[in-house]
Structure 1
Amino acid sequence: MNQPKSIFSLPVLQQWMQLVITHPDGVEEGIHSSEAQAQLAIHSDALETVIPRSEQLTSLERLQVYGNAYYARLIDCLGVEFPALKEALGEETFSGFVFTFLQSYPSTSYTLDDLGRNFPQFLEETRPADIDQSWPDFLIDLARLERTYAEVFDGPGMETEPGLDVAELASIPSEDWNRLCLKPAPCLRLLELSHPVHLYATAVKKEEQPSLPTPEKTWLVVFRSEYVVRRRAVEETQFRLLQALVDGQPLGRALESTFPKESESTSELQETLRDWFTFWAKWRFFAGYRLDEL
């Protein structure tokens, strides 16, 4: 026979309180939710049997303090992760966006590093259809950039790895390029954006008062060096080649898909590729290479 759960069991109380104070519709709705009732079958009018009232606050009000503090803490955390987005929206509007986001994507991880993972997706899902297209695009781009910064900062990097040897790579004959695949660094990210939001984010970091940028197609490479997250705007052609290589295409096929056939053997292109690969190697965009069997 199953024994009823005791309110004096600490694990039961902890689980019940978590369900109550994190309920999206507030503490009182949380108390009456099926999940909380499964832990402790208690109603708000009998709350004092679990949470004693104080001289100034009722039991319900005391729980609401914790509920408000819980969401305030999460809003503060996302404000740290998305400072430029917070600046663009204003603190009150940003807090409203985050609160609504947390209803759709509640925290499920032990670490706050994962809290904002779905925030850019949420902005995309909830974008209004009846206002100027550039404003929501700007906000989504900004959220994508700042989330990428966070992921690159927290994730693995190339600080202890040798990276790509350009001289060794150059020694591979061109007839083998169709089976030459590069291994991207784990901290390399490619962003295709509709606004130069990296300039806006940098201005916010410098505590300037940036104006909203006009729409401009932007191709951005985000990477990490010596534990510092960096970004570099590149031209579309370089971006497309990087994208093809990161996607696993062999070098030969990536070059064919990026450049017109007639330009592949020109000295100007060869010099451009040499400059690009030298820069990529310097900043460790790639961890190495492999030669696949055809």
Structure 2
Amino acid sequence: MSLLALQRTFVDFLLDQPTDLPVAVSGSAGPGLAVYHNAYRAQLVACLKDSYERLWAWLGDDAFASAARHHIDRHAPTSWTLSDYGVGFAETINALYPDDPEVAEIAALDWALRRAFDGADAAPFAPARLIEIDWDDAVIHFVPTLALLPVKTNCGAIWTAIAASEDVPAARILPQPAWVRVWRVDMQPHFATIEATETDAIRLAATGESFARLCDHLAETIGMEEAVLVAGRCLSSWLQDGLIADIRQSRPLGVTAPATGDRA
């Protein structure tokens, strides 16, 4: 057997795929090989526990370990770092618990918070700079760790109670589907459950729409008076929570847009 074939056979052994290690290699080394086999799976289970702590607490040791082994059997690591191994575990959980949507949503929240922790740094916008802004042409730029998750259960309340070691509420379906925004301030990830109007505002701002156009879009949906209130409330919340990295003009101050139409 060539070295390459032997290496591939050993990997199959670690991954629990059918394999037949040569006697010259396995021989009396069975117990030693078993250590490698067990260590591989144990390391990946530990990696998932680290990334999905609240899910682990919600499911309990046995159910989490079973789900983790199910995932490991179907998804070998592909990245240079084990910090990426949690990718896709929420989808595995969703398939395993189709009748309990809060389980997959807790998993998705766990993973989004972990990714926010590992995400790129960005200093929050200083509110004192607001006096510089021409709001007719202002474009909001969010911190790079901002993410939006669709939810239909009280997964946020469950996650918070587990993290605080408080009485954990029973899972329930929300009256209306909602969204959770996840972001990081300094080195601390945060999340908040938000309504559809704020979600729409974040999405519009993230596409590069000016704040004025954002207000116009909201007005088309909820009316001008309500749109002004919602836009102001969102801007205040985003500044207070540290979601905004910068507010820039779509064109430099003092530069007017070119005229359109035929020249005389």
TM-score (norm 1): 0.73
Change (3 A) 1:60 1:76: same
Q: One-letter code of the match for 1:193?
A: V
Give a deviation string over 1:97-125, Cα, whole Å, max 9, x none. 1111122221112211101011122334x
Where does residue 103 of structure 1 map in the other structure?
A: 73
User: Is the contact between residue 51 and residue 114 of structure 2 (CA under 8 Å) also seen in structure 1?
Assistant: yes
Distance 2:139 2:250 in 1: 7
Where does residue 245 of structure 1 map in the other structure?
A: 205
Q: The residue matched to 1:183 in structure 2 has which SS?
A: strand
Change (3 A) 1:169 1:183: farther
Where does residue 50 of structure 1 map in the other structure?
A: 25
Where does residue 205 of structure 1 map in the other structure?
A: 163
Distance 2:221 2:44 in 1: 53
User: Is the contact between residue 164 and residue 289 of structure 1 (CA under 8 Å) also seen in structure 2?
Assistant: no
User: Is the contact between residue 222 and residue 229 of structure 1 (CA under 8 Å) also seen in structure 2?
Assistant: yes
Where does residue 187 of structure 2 map in the other structure?
A: 227
Q: One-letter code of the match for 2:152?
A: S
Change (3 A) 1:198 1:261: closer
Distance 1:82 1:162 in 2: 27
Distance 1:96 1:261 in 2: 46
Change (3 A) 1:249 1:18: farther
Q: The residue matched to 1:287 in structure 2 has which SS?
A: strand
**Aligned equivalent of 1:284, options 224, 242, 262:** 242
Which stretches of structure 1, 4 residues or longer, exceed 6 Å deviation after superposition?
A: none
**Aligned equivalent of 1:23, options 12, 15, 36:** 15
**Aligned equivalent of 1:186, options 122, 144, 151:** 144
Give a deviation string over 1:65-89, Cα, whole Å, max 9, x none. 3212210121122112112212222
Aligned-pair distance for 1:22?
Answer: 2.6
**Aligned equivalent of 1:155, options 98, 108, 119:** 119
User: Is the contact between residue 181 and residue 248 of structure 1 (CA under 8 Å) also seen in structure 2?
Assistant: yes
Change (3 A) 1:259 1:143: farther
Distance 1:169 1:103 in 2: 57
Aligned-pair distance for 1:229?
Answer: 0.9
Q: One-letter code of the match for 1:23?
A: L
Aligned-pair distance for 1:14?
Answer: 9.3
1:123 aligns with 2:93: yes
Distance 1:71 1:88 in 2: 22
Paired positions, count: 250
Where does residue 145 of structure 1 map in the other structure?
A: 109
Where does residue 274 of structure 1 map in the other structure?
A: 232
Q: One-letter code of the match for 2:11?
A: L
Q: One-letter code of the match for 1:93?
A: A
Give a deviation string over 1:206-261, Cα, whole Å, max 9, x none. 23452432111332221111211111222321222112212433434433333346
Distance 2:124 2:142 in 1: 13
Distance 2:229 2:32 in 1: 69
User: Is the contact between residue 166 and residue 281 of structure 1 (CA under 8 Å) also seen in structure 2?
Assistant: no
Distance 1:204 1:149 in 2: 15
Distance 2:96 2:76 in 1: 19
User: Is the contact between residue 124 and residue 143 of structure 2 (CA under 8 Å) also seen in structure 1?
Assistant: no
Where does residue 67 of structure 1 map in the other structure?
A: 37
Distance 1:72 1:261 in 2: 52
Aligned-pair distance for 1:167?
Answer: 4.8
Structure 1 unpaired stretches of 5+: 7-11, 33-43, 54-58
Q: The residue matched to 1:221 in structure 2 has which SS?
A: strand
Aligned-pair distance for 1:162?
Answer: 5.0
TM-score (norm 2): 0.80
Distance 1:71 1:204 in 2: 26
What is the identity percentage for the equivalent residue pairs of Structure 1 and Structure 2?
Answer: 20
Distance 1:219 1:241 in 2: 12
